[in-house]
Structure 1
């Protein structure tokens, strides 16, 4: 089972064990991780599951579609080159150890 590391704005690190095919958002919500709202429940319609994906994993992710790209213009914190919506990040074994940082505001 892959592990994903989530870092909150205050520096708290939480390691999530995630079943393949589960989104980072689903895993974070299931674990009670604070700072990830996911108001739309993973429908890519609210941008409240925004994360910053650290390298080298950011370059290994599937390309975002037009909907995710548009939603990232609506985030509470500034969009960065490594910004993604965690509802669109499906975990695979290739992403084992991936680090995502949560913004201060969703």
Structure 2
């Protein structure tokens, strides 16, 4: 099974099995990853599942759509690679990816 590594705001590593077809948010919540609150349950309505995608995987995850980008604009810690994990579906191409979960503030 593919794996994803989440690095929490406190630098704790979560190396987890990542089922193809699940969103990165679902995978993080299932594995109790610190910093992924997912308050809206994956509806792209809250930005509490913010992650940073590493440069080498950005083409594989695609760009944020308009609604996602609008939510990310409200974050003080938005940067290159910022995405909402609820909007990224796990694929084989993402196997081995390491994502950072930034602090909320």
TM-score (norm: length of structure 1): 0.92
Q: Which runs of 5+ in 2 are unaligned?
A: none
For residues 51-79 of structure 1, what are the alpha-carbon distances to aligned partners after superposition, in whole Å with 9 as ceiling and x for unaligned? Answer: 1111211232122211111111122x411
Output the CA distance in 2 between the equivalents of 1:45 and 1:99: 24
When the two chains are superposed, the root-mean-square deviation of aligned CA atoms in Å is: 1.3
Shift of 1:14: 0.7
Following TM superposition, where does structure 1 have runs of at least 4 consecutive aligned residues deviating by more than 4 angstroms? none
What is the distance in 2 between the residues matched to 1:92 and 1:8?
A: 22
Q: Where does 1:31-70 land on structure 2 (aligned, <5 Å)? A: 31-70=31-70
In the alignment, the residues of structure 1 paired with residue 41 and residue 69 of structure 2 have an alpha-carbon distance, to the nearest angstrom, of 18
| Unmatched 5+ stretches in structure 1 | none
